[in-house]
Amino acid sequence: MTSTHPAVELSGLTKTFGAVTAVDGLSLRVEPGEVVAFLGPNGAGKTTTIDMLLGLARPDSGTVRILGGAPADAIARGRVAAVLQTGGLLKDLTVGETVRLTANFYRQSRPATEVLERAGIADIADRVVGRCSGGQQQRLRFALALLPDPDLMVLDEPTTGMDVEGRREFWQALRRDARSGRTVIFATHYLDEADAYADRIVLVRQGRIVADGTTAEIKNLASGRLVRATLPDADQAALAALPGVDAVEVRGDTVLVTTADSDLVARHLLTRTAARDLEITSRNLEDAFLALTTDRTDHIGAAR
């Protein structure tokens, strides 16, 4: 799983559907072995970009290079695999039969028993696909994607339908693969997955990249910190008037202050009020996601 070329190189991709521009001059470079979360709100252009990356849609302009060549070449050689939101399974076959049948389509493939184990579904190999849960069927799609032992794996909402334990096991398996050099690009609505497992986060909005960097870099683009304290009958107006305060929220006896100057707010709460149990935390990935994909922060640039 080594390559002297970028795993993915998108340059100036544009795709329109009638009057709607789904992808607008998007450029992205992903190196071998990176685990990249591709995030954005509904309608941001994530799935359209993935379709063009995989050769399932043709861009109106721009180029796609996968492992130094055209997507079709990499796919034909089994160097790219995908787990997508769409695509049916044969409901009357068993899980094991589905994997063995699909393995026959490749010139070379990993053993069916190995990918079933890797996907965590070896224990249901004899179960008919139509009787599998949504999460189990998604794991089956993952097993099918592992068959050609790809250099690049593209995942669109891969853990939809999985329970918490299933999601954890899925990502642990992917991280092990990444350590061996496999590149992973995934789109997800579970921001905790991106926070926990991605080396890099790319945020898109209206078909354009609005931020690109590590999780820490993306979080830092959402300015300010959150000061939380227990304060019965908090004077919300007085707190909101403090310099640097962006928002004040009261939840029962708890007050939450979003501010650019957490030290000032902390001193005020501890010396001028009866506040206790004070905590100061940085903004999380959800805060950054909301800030960077709304109209309030179009001026924020990319981290990379």
Residues 287-304 as b or e (16 or more Cβ within 10 Å = b): bbbebbbeeebeebeebe
Straight-line distance from the first to the last Cα atom of the chain, in angstroms, rounded to the nearest whole number: 26
Residue 97 has phi, psi (to 5 degrees) of -60, -40
- Domains of the chain listed by start with CATH number: 8-79+150-219 (3.40.50.300), 224-282 (3.30.70.100)
Alpha-carbon distance of 258 to 260, in angstroms, equals 7
pLDDT at position 288: 85
- pTM of the model as a whole: 0.78
- Give helix then strand counts, H and E, for the chain: 11, 13
Round to whole Å and give the CA distance between 137 and 103: 17
Q: Are 153 and 81 in contact (CB under 8 A)?
A: yes
Query: To the nearest 10°, the Cα dihedral for 184, 188, 194, 196?
Result: -90
pLDDT (0 to 100) of residue 84: 81
Could you give the CA distance from residue 80 to residue 110 in angstroms, rounded to a whole number? 14
Tens of each residue's pLDDT in the chain, 304 residues: 555 789 999 999 999 999 999 999 999 999 999 999 999 999 999 999 999 999 999 999 999 999 999 999 998 889 999 988 666 899 999 999 999 999 998 888 999 999 999 888 999 999 999 999 988 998 999 999 999 999 999 998 888 888 888 888 888 888 887 888 899 999 998 898 999 899 999 999 999 999 999 988 888 777 678 899 999 999 999 999 999 998 999 999 999 999 989 999 999 999 999 999 999 987 788 888 888 887 644 333 444 5
